[in-house]
Chain A
Amino acid sequence: AQKVTQAQTEISVVEKEDVTLDCVYETRDTTYYLFWYKQPPSGELVFLIRRNSFDEQNEISGRYSWNFQKSTSSFNFTITASQVVDSAVYFCALSEASSGYSTLTFGKGTMLLVSP
């Protein structure tokens, strides 16, 4: 069965530090999507990125970057020069081709606290 593990329950950093959020997944599918979502204190869930299993290129978007490694089944998320506004819970999620991409399996989330 598919599974997503976010081993870091909570991370605290000081503003301007770099921080990496870990995500490890398990799946028997060879075709799947991986996602990251952000949940700020206001509670909504914001989509950040989708990566398909055929594309292992790293992606950078401003201060955000993602490192996808199939060899270690990991899809880690790095925030460079963190800011207070980055404080949120971040979820990693997996969607498999065998389910028609119909369902998302979420990790339990990592709470990031960025202090001034």
Chain B
Amino acid sequence: DADVTQTPRNRITKTGKRIMLECSQTKGHDRMYWYRQDPGLGLRLIYYSFDVKDINKGEISDGYSVSRQAQAKFSLSLESAIPNQTALYFCATSDRGSTSGRSTDTQYFGPGTRLTVL
């Protein structure tokens, strides 16, 4: 079974609809992230969470909200979807574990959700 799962894998919706993308992980990591990928732009960070009570905005948080329901679950919501939110969305997790006082943080990604807003 995959360590980081995302549902749905593909979604087509209409402008103005509310949509939620879900992410679950079995890696036991405390940090979780949401990114979007657009052709030619690489990946850009939307939100990240260090633990259930810690939520932080990323580079492009406008138009999005998140919920960390549990250590293993991190959801991304588009309250009123618009066409320029059409993109590939990735969830990622990492561990804040450290070695010799230095973080060994590495982010591991889910399979992605392809979202199309018409």
Contacts and interface: CB of A to CB of B under 8 A. Distances in A.
Interface in B20-36: 31, 33
A94 B41 CA distance: 16
Nearest to A37: B109
Contacts, number: 58
For chain B, what secondary structure do more than half of its interface residues adopt (helix, strand, loop), or is it mixed?
strand
Nearest to B31: A102
Interface residues of A, number: 24
A106 interface: yes
Given A31-B102, A52-B102, A109 B42 contact: yes
A107 B42 contact: yes
Interface in B87-118: 88, 90, 92, 94, 96, 102-112, 114
Interface in B35-80: 40-45, 48, 50, 56, 58
A106 B43 contact: yes
